[in-house]
Amino acid sequence: MFEKEGWTNYAEAGSRFWEVYKDENSLGQSLEIGFFRSGDTASISWLISPKIDLQSLNNPRVAFRTSTSFADDSSLEALVSSYWDGQIQTIKSATWLPLLARIATEDDDTQIFVDSGDLNLNFYGNALYFAFKYVGSGKTAQDGTFELDDFRTFEKIPKIYITMSYIINASIFSTYCERKVNNRCIRSHFSIRT
């Protein structure tokens, strides 16, 4: 069973918890949850992050990767809350909002991780809990496994465009520097208007 300070690993229904596993596709350790042939009549399992303070980030984002091993009729949701009080007893009654993340499905290749995308957190609050909720179908022979890796919060730095225009033979050349590092243009574009 996965145990790390600040994280909540909770089985709302059933006997399975999120666990650590090693796999060549995850390039190290990842977490997994699955109820295949567990014998449980219901299966709901939560993994919740510690409260993460995003106040110092101007443009906060969250991202992670998921994969599946025959997800079949089970599902995985990514959720966020600024209202949960951190108590196991209130997980179900807290307000959890869905993150519009790309999560692996049974249509994806087995154990090949897919990226969630950089998810904008500007509208959720300054201190957030992130949850991953697994729900089985109630038919454990049809409940698969989900894997989770590379969970991270970060600040997305906007691209900076610097425009320089000059005229040559009555044509205007515009050069756009998309990003500069050490006074060098790393990526640039130009256009010609006559």
Q: Is the dihedral of CA 52, 93, 104, 99 positive or negative?
A: negative
- Within 8 A by CB and 6+ apart from 72, the residues are 106, 137, 142, 143, 144
CA angle centred on 32, ends 30 and 36, rounded to 5°: 155
What pLDDT is recorded for position 145? 87
Question: Do you know the residue count of the chain?
Answer: 194
Q: How far is CA 128 from CA 44, 50, 53, 163, in A?
A: 22, 8, 7, 38
CA distance 66 to 30: 10
DSSP assignment of 58-104: SSEEEEEEEEEEEEET-EEEEEEESS--S-GGGTTTS--EE------
Picking from 113, 8, 130, the residue whose alpha carbon sits closest to that of residue 61 is: 130
pLDDT on residue 131: 98
For residue 172, the Cα-to-chain-centroid distance in whole angstroms is 44
Nearest to 146 by CA among 114, 170, 178: 114
Per-residue pLDDT of the chain (194 residues; tens, 9 = 90+): 888 899 999 999 888 889 888 766 656 788 988 877 667 677 899 999 999 999 999 999 999 999 988 767 788 999 999 999 999 999 999 999 999 999 998 787 777 899 999 999 999 999 999 999 999 877 766 678 899 999 999 998 876 655 444 444 444 444 444 444 455 544 433 433 43
Tell me if 155 sits within 8 A of 59, measured CB to CB: yes
| Domains, the chain | 8-155 (2.60.120.200), 162-193 (no CATH)
Q: How many CB atoms lie within 10 A of CB 134?
A: 28
Secondary structure (3-state) at 139: coil
Q: Please tell me the predicted confidence (pLDDT) of residue 191.
A: 39
